[in-house]
Amino acid sequence: MVYLDDNPQRLAKAKSLGAEVHEAPKGLVMEPIGLFPIVVDAAASDASILLAFRSAEPNGICQRMYGDFTETTPVPLRHMYGVGIQLRIGRVNARAEMPDCVGHVVAGHFHPEHVITRRVRFEDAHEAIGDPTIRVAFVRDGID
């Protein structure tokens, strides 16, 4: 796993989880650090999606974590067509994926507790929902 970001806290967390990390300049305007079969864009900016497309190897997959907050997003269709890049975007069907994910957690393959940076009582969720930390977990009283 190779992880690129301009945020020192997220870079440190990725490194602690075993990723090869690369610090990016603010705004992610840069040349690709390599070509990869699967590229995930989680920054949701015009610059980040363009970097993701340029980082995908021929016939690669570019996964956008979520849509923009703007009406349209520039997409370099000519480049994508020429290289054969497939863009995947959409919400995960969490209910369909949950049994396999829970199975991996139970087996010790996944450790979601390693990415949780703040736990908040469910009743206080409205105050913490905008927290810019890596991952906020909302917990009900009596559940650890």
Claim to verify: residue 36 and residue 80 sit in the same structural domain: yes
Claim to verify: residue 71 and residue 122 sit in the same structural domain: no
Claim to verify: residue 14 and residue 84 sit in the same structural domain: yes
pLDDT at 144: 60
Claim to verify: residue 55 and residue 11 sit in the same structural domain: yes
The answer to the question of residue 100 being in a domain is: yes
The type of residue at 84 is G
pLDDT tens for residues 20-46?
A: 999 999 988 999 999 999 999 988 888
CA-wise closest residue to 6 among 46, 54, 43, 50: 43
Instruction: State the residue range of the domain holding 107.
Output: 94-139
Work out how many domains the chain is built from and give that number.
2
Claim to verify: residue 99 and residue 35 sit in the same structural domain: no
User: Distance (Å, rounded) from C-alpha 140 to C-alpha 123?
Assistant: 8
Residue 19 has pLDDT above 80, yes or no: yes
Claim to verify: residue 15 and residue 83 sit in the same structural domain: yes
